[in-house]
Amino acid sequence: MASITLRNACVDFPIYNARGRSLKANVLRRVGGRIDSNNREIITVEALRDINLDLRPGDRLALVGHNGAGKSTLLRVLAGAYEPSRGVAHIDGKVSSLLDMTMGMDPELTGRENITLRGIFLGMTFRQATEITPAIEEFTELGGFMDLPMRTYSSGMTLRLAFAVSTAVQPDILLLDEMISVGDMSFAEKARIRLEQVMENSRILVLASHDPMILKRYCNKAVHLREGQIVAAGSIDDILEQHGALEQG
């Protein structure tokens, strides 16, 4: 069964040789930084502090908060890119993260070769990556560019390819940092339909966005992050109302 369990999870980022830089030290303290008591040359930024989460199938969680609140860091913990510095994170189920869709791809390789490379990076076997190649080629509409090095692609073409591979296999847990818009109007609509299908079929969805209408459309519960901490959790309507009141205040 797909599940996410975090208990007092913290993520610290140490910054070395910063003690003598008083301006940097003061700024870092304002975003949760602290001087390491055992090493006066280290300032530690506490990106996440004491995060507790329990998500089960059917949960669609919105991450609400200002820039720098810790939303992207939390998504990377759920994706397995960051391990908690303290506390624990148990993630059960196949996870698909659309945070860094081009990760694992090589600009010197062809589009076709990058399908295999990205597919294996996402946990597919070589055979599985090979089998999905024709469908990816058709979806991306890249034609002859599939046999050219990816460095010859525009940024939009690269995103088309990366998006197509990243959404080719249905995950148990889907992580999104803002909704993705890929390509021109006609392709963007095709990508939106495909992404919504993946979202609907995922057992657990975690979505960070600054757009309350998007969060209301896709999520049923939310947490409000501030300075790396969860300051409130509840229904999507209650948390968005609270967040809006804070913004106006």
Map out the domains of the chain as residue ranges: 3-97+208-248
CB atoms within 10 A of CB 227: 17
pLDDT at 249: 44
- Integer Cα distance of 173 and 187 in angstroms: 25
Walk along the chain (249 residues) and give the pLDDT tens digit of each residue. Answer: 899 999 999 999 887 665 555 555 555 555 555 555 555 566 778 899 999 999 999 999 999 999 999 999 999 999 998 999 999 999 999 999 888 889 889 999 999 999 999 999 888 999 999 999 999 999 999 999 999 999 999 999 999 999 999 999 899 999 999 887 776 777 888 999 999 999 999 999 999 999 999 999 999 999 999 999 999 999 999 999 987 755 544
- Integer Cα distance of 239 and 69 in angstroms: 15
pLDDT at 247: 57
CA distances from 6 to 13, 49, 54 (A): 19, 11, 7
> If residue 207 lies in a helix (H) or strand (E), which one and from where to where?
strand 204-208
pLDDT at 182: 76
- Integer Cα distance of 101 and 111 in angstroms: 14
Amino acid at 61: L
Task: Please give the span between the terminal C-alpha atoms of the chain, in angstroms, as a whole number.
Answer: 42
DSSP H helix total and E strand total for the chain: 8, 10
Strands ordered across the beta sheet of 33-35: 33-35, 42-55, 3-16, 86-92
Buried residues in 112-142 as b, exposed as e (16+ CB within 10 A): bbbbbbbbeebebeeeebeebbeebbebbeb
Tokens linked to 236: 């999507």
Strands ordered across the beta sheet of 95-97: 95-97, 173-177, 204-208, 60-64, 221-226, 229-235
CATH number for the region 3-97+208-248 comes to: 3.40.50.300
CA distances from 17 to 25, 28, 37 (A): 11, 13, 14
- Integer Cα distance of 228 and 68 in angstroms: 8
